[in-house]
Every structure is written in C-alpha cells, then in structure tokens.
Amino acid sequence: MERKSTVMIAAVAVAVAVIAAGAFVVLNGGGNDAGRNATIASELQIRGNANDDYTIDGEDMAILEDIIAGGKSKEDYPLADVNGDGNVDETDVSLLKDLIDRKSGTSVYVICLDRDGNTTSVEVTYPLRNVVPYGTNMQLPLLYANGGQYVAGYFVSSYGVAEASIAASAVDLEGNQRSISDASWSKFTALDGSTEGGLGAILVDYSGISQITDKRMGDLEEAGIPMICYESADATAEITTVLTLGFLLGGDCETMGVEYAQTAWNIVGEIKDKLGDVEEKDRMHYICCTMYIYVCGESSSFNTSATTAGGISYASVNPEFASKYTKNSTKMMSTDALSNFTDADIIINNRSMDWGLTADDMKSLIIDTWDHDNGGVSSTVYFAKFLDRLVYIDNLLPGAVKLAYMAHAMYGDIFSMEWADGVLQTYIGMGTLPLKGQTADTVLAYIDVDVYNAAVA
C-alpha cells in the first residue's frame, strides 16, 4: 500500500514537473530567452522546489526523500538538489526542512541569470532583506510583491505613484534609468558598509546588466553581495520574478507573490486556451516598439511578451526586417523607417506611464503619447501608415495585465476591452501596493486611435 502510494505520488509529481516545464518553455517562446532558462524550468526559481510548482512545502520534501531512498532519479528533479552541489543527500533534506519552516538565517539558492545570461544559482539568506533593485523592470516586480519596505537603496525611481511603496528610509543612489555612474556605485558600496548586516542582494533587470561590469562584479563578490538577475521585462519572466522575490522576502510578500503569479498563470492559460482554435495563418504579426520610435528586435522582451499574448513576431516572417532590427531596440532615424513593412498587422508600442491620473492628466498623457515630439517630429509621422494598427500599452503594469491588453490589441473579437480592464481591476483589487488606491480611471493602460480621437474631441 505504502509503495503504491509512493508510486502514485511520484507519478503525479513527474506529471506536474513535466507540465510545468513544458508550459514554461512554451510560454517563453522559442527565442533566446527560452534558451537561457531551458536548463531548469521552474515557476518558483528556488532550489528545493523539487516539484517545480509555486512554493516549497512537504511535497518537495517527499520527492527528496524518495530520491535518497532510490525511488526517484535526481536527474528528473533538478531542483531537488537544494544546495546545488550535484548531490541529493541529507544536507539537502536539512536545508529543505529549514526552508519549509521558513527559518530565518537559512541559506537559499536562487536560480537566476549570470552576467552572460546563463542560468546560475546564487546563495542568499532567508528572509531577504536590505535589497537594492536596479532597473524599472526589476524594481516594479519587487514592489508588486510588496517588497518596497525591504529596499535599502535604489538607483533611480522615476514613477512617483507606481514606486511610492519604496521604503521612506531607502537611500537614493542617484543613478539613472540606463546607467550607474561611478559615483552612484560608490554610494551603493558605501551603503553596504553602513547597513547593519550588509545588503541582502542587488536585484538586476538583465536589460541593464551592462552596468554591472567585471569590476563591479568583483566589488560584489568582495563585499559578499549576491546578484539576482532576471530578464524581468518579459511578462512571463516578470511573473516568476514576483513569485520568487515574494518567497525570498517571506511572510505577506510570499502570500502576495503566490496570488499574483497564480492569477497571472490563469490569465496566460486563458489566452492560450481561447487562441487554441486560431490557426497559424490567422495569427497576428506584430512589431513591438518602445520609447516611442525605437523598434524592438526579435529577441526583445517586449517581443517575447507579445508572443505569449498569442502574436507572431513580424521578424520571424520577414528576414529583411529581422536583419535590420537585430538589437533589442533600434531608433528609427527616418520617418519612412517602417515603410517597407506595412504588411505587419499591428504595432505594439510599450511606454511606461505613471498612475494617479486626473481626467485632465489622462487626456494630456494620451495626446502626448500619440503625438509625441521626437526632437521636432511627431510620432504619428513615423507610424503614418499604421495609425489604425498602432496601440500603446503601459509598461509599468503587471505582466499579466500587459498580456491581457496585448491579446485585446491583437484579437479584439476574442478578448474584449472589458475583459482586459477586468484583469487590471483584478490586480488593483489584489492589494499589491504599486496599484493601491488606483482605479481604471487613474491608470492609462491602453491607447489606440479611438482613445486618442476621444481625447482630442
């Protein structure tokens, strides 16, 4: 009987692991991002999450015990190796027990990216405290997990409302969105020295990894500051980032992270299910843009997000476009830059827009976005042949909300605006602090030509 139960549990665990891994790979698409994370596919990016679900609990312990007893193979459960030493043994069991008990001071091995974009494990101490995020795409996930209270310092905070939950005591290290000056870095290392117990970790969005130079990596190693890096600009990676950071911070943050991620996976599943019957030929070919007139290359996180929302990257069907726009983002240097690609179905333009808007703010922001002045030339000139196929989506929103609006933009007859607004409302109601106090009327989530025309009317 006992053996039967063990076999059944093992079978279920294997099935869950296979489905979760498959879902992760599918949802991440076939681009570079998927390749980087393919080694270990996990919802919760923590060693010890043996069954590859959203938390660490007794089910993971059961798998470890089975592996040690010889009932399961450790190769089938790569996350069962809690300390990443290549073996699954009593040390792992002991560590996992402490993790299940959420014991303070426990070493946690976080699966993330290294500077080269390869999967690695980084040791941090549970619960994670005194963190310093770098990059909006990492800062927001931290705040979505309600982790603002644990921010010891930040390099830049450009969005007063969305990032209001950063601890009042956090030190402004005076970097900027795209770079960390030597002076800022010095403030960061000084902060480590002045913080009791030192900094818990630096959290880096992979798109800003160039700022963590070899020398700075050496500084981190010397000071014993772990670097947790994710390509969190991608909507699906953002979901796992919130879940993982929530777990590391513990307590209410873990609860929030789980709710945030489970809701998101449900949205992703819903999109996938509803598009299941849409044939390949009927799928929308999208071009993603950012910063008004920068065109995203195929490997851009914006592209992988749009693919998750059911679209097909225009770069994947037009080699000329793919060969021109190879970087994550390339500025359009002429107003006819997209003139040879007008057969793309839709332009999804990603713009970070803060919240807490009044009706007048909303109107101004819509007009400023649509008619944005790019050094004397309106954005509409660059997109003249796409104005009825151009949408702007707020990049600050939770990943699942962005996916919902992308799905609406591409398949409006399947995913209504009301449905996408409902996803936003779900996250507002969830209690995640960046959206606290917001309503659908104070957040400008989506702009298309109709929204613009209504604003200027």
Partner 1 sequence: MLLSLLAVAAFFLTLGSGVYRISVAHAVEVFFDHLGGNISDADGDYYIWELRVPRALGAVITGAALSVAGAIMQNDFRNPLAEPYTMGISSGAFLGAVLSIICGISVVPFVTGTAVTMVNAFLFSLIPTAIIVLISRFRKMTPAAMILTGVAIMFLFSSICQVIMVTAPSESLADAYMWRVGDIGRVFWSSLPLMSGATAVIVVILYSMAGKLNVMYAGDRAAMTLGESANRIRIVTLVLVSFLTASVVSYTGTIGFIGLVGPHVARIFVGSDNRYLIPASAAFGAAFILLADTVAKVSGVNGLPVGVISSMVGGPLFIWILVRQRKSAWA
Which positions touch partner 1 (CB under 8 A)?
A: 158, 176-179, 291-292, 324-325, 330-337, 339-340, 342, 371, 373-378, 381, 384-385
Q: 94 phi and psi, to 5 degrees?
A: -65, -45
Between 342 and 416, whose beta carbon lies closer to partner 1?
342
Half-sphere exposure of 177 (CA within 13 A, CB side): 6
Pairing of strands 131-134, 201-205: parallel
Between 157 and 195, whose beta carbon lies closer to partner 1?
157
Q: Which two three-digit tokens encode residue 71?
A: 């009932």
- Minimum Å distance from CB 288 to partner 1? 16
| Torsion, CA 78, CA 84, CA 88, CA 93, rounded to 10 | -110
- Minimum Å distance from CB 342 to partner 1? 7
Q: Distance of CA 145 to CAs 100, 137, 224, 290, Å?
A: 20, 13, 25, 25
The DSSP annotation for 213-280 comes to: -HHHHHHHHHHT--EEEE-TTSHHHHHHHHHHHHHHH-THHHHHHHHHHHHHHHHHHHHHHHTTTS-G
Q: Which two three-digit tokens encode residue 33?
A: 């991002």
- Minimum Å distance from CB 341 to partner 1? 10
Between 122 and 337, whose beta carbon lies closer to partner 1?
337
Between 156 and 199, whose beta carbon lies closer to partner 1?
156
Q: Which two three-digit tokens encode residue 131?
A: 């963190």
The DSSP annotation for 180-222 comes to: --HHHHHHHHHHHHHSTT---EEEEEGGGGGGS-HHHHHHHHH
Between 178 and 215, whose beta carbon lies closer to partner 1?
178
**How far apart (Å, rounded) are the C-alpha atoms in residues 422 and 440?**
9
- Minimum Å distance from CB 275 to partner 1? 31
Pairing of strands 373-374, 377-378: antiparallel
- Minimum Å distance from CB 374 to partner 1? 6
- Minimum Å distance from CB 396 to partner 1? 15
Between 5 and 334, whose beta carbon lies closer to partner 1?
334
| Torsion, CA 298, CA 302, CA 308, CA 314, rounded to 10 | -40
Between 137 and 263, whose beta carbon lies closer to partner 1?
137
- Minimum Å distance from CB 135 to partner 1? 13
- Minimum Å distance from CB 104 to partner 1? 40
- Minimum Å distance from CB 154 to partner 1? 16
**How far apart (Å, rounded) are the C-alpha atoms in residues 187 and 180?**
10
Amino acid at 177: Q
Between 167 and 337, whose beta carbon lies closer to partner 1?
337
Amino acid at 245: L
Between 320 and 441, whose beta carbon lies closer to partner 1?
320
Q: Which two three-digit tokens encode residue 288?
A: 């993603």
